[in-house]
Amino acid sequence: MSTVKSEFHSHLDSILEKRGPLCVGLDPDMELLPSGYSSNIQGLEEHMLDVVDATSDVAAAYKINTAFFEAFGAAGWNAIERLVTAIRKNSPALIIADAKRGDLQNTARFYARTFFDTFDFDAVTLQPYMGYDSLEPFLERTDRGSIVLCLTSNRGSEDFQHHGNPPLFLEVARRCADWSRNNVMLVVGATRNPDDMRRIRDVAPGLPFLVPGIGKQGGDLETVLNICGRRLLLNSSRGISAASADRSTLKEAARAEASRLARAVGDFFDKR
């Protein structure tokens, strides 16, 4: 288990101060696997380990998309465990389970135990649709992070997240701000309307954001930083892990892209 004793936000702020906001997404997709890796779970794991090795001194966090591993059954879960162990060994970065869980309270209690205790994740992404009691077992763990989906970047987000006046995503942000026990973050996609991101920041000024969509998905870095300030994690997945199509140059390319993003953030704040 983690030896972190401070509240999650304090832990996050300490890492952001030392490393900046770069979050490296680890999504081991067979279709994006560079040549030179075997086309199986071992090859996917080796690919992700190489990305971690290349970025371990610049990443503030790693976000492991568990679905890509879960598809391989027990072998996938074993790979997750080894990946978490490797990150712990080489970096102080936060480790996020991108699992998007959200279920009845008793079930949620076991999900929290799974990700926080069994696999030693620092935080997990969560679905808020079932309400407070489905999140409570995670919120109670104030040494770990509860990263709640607020406004996602997929087209289908229009179906529910924008429903109502004010829209549902603002109610999620407002409730999460009320519920926060110093461990809540919000997922807010970088490719959404910047005005929506501003509205979320207005109703949840104290909550850090996890912002996917920077890089190959086209989210604008300066717009996000202008709205969110320093208290956020900027996720880049494919832009880093698929920076090269060949294993022989993957580490160099992944590090170069991660460093480029880190410098861009630093340059932005240096100019302010």
The DSSP 8-state label assigned to residue 30 in this structure reads G
Angle, in degrees to the nearest 10, between helices 168-179 and 194-203: 30
The DSSP 8-state label assigned to residue 120 in this structure reads -
5 in active site: no
Q: What is the distance between the alpha carbons of residues 157 and 71, in angstroms, rounded to a whole number? A: 25
Beta carbons of 149 and 177 less than 8 angstroms apart? no
The DSSP 8-state label assigned to residue 116 in this structure reads I
Q: Nearest-CA neighbor of 27 among 90, 86, 93, 83?
A: 83
Q: Nearest-CA neighbor of 240 among 225, 224, 252, 223?
A: 252
Provide the b/e sequence for 168-188 (b: ≥16 CB within 10 Å).
Answer: bbbebbebbbebbebbbbbbb
Name the amino acid, one letter, at 108. A
Structure tokens at 60: 């503030």
Q: Nearest-CA neighbor of 47 among 254, 259, 261, 258?
A: 254
Q: Nearest-CA neighbor of 123 among 184, 192, 45, 78?
A: 184
Hey, is 65 helix, strand or coil? strand
Beta carbons of 194 and 227 less than 8 angstroms apart? yes
Instruction: Identify the active-site residue in 5, 18, 89, 100.
Output: 100
Q: Which residues are catalytic?
A: 100
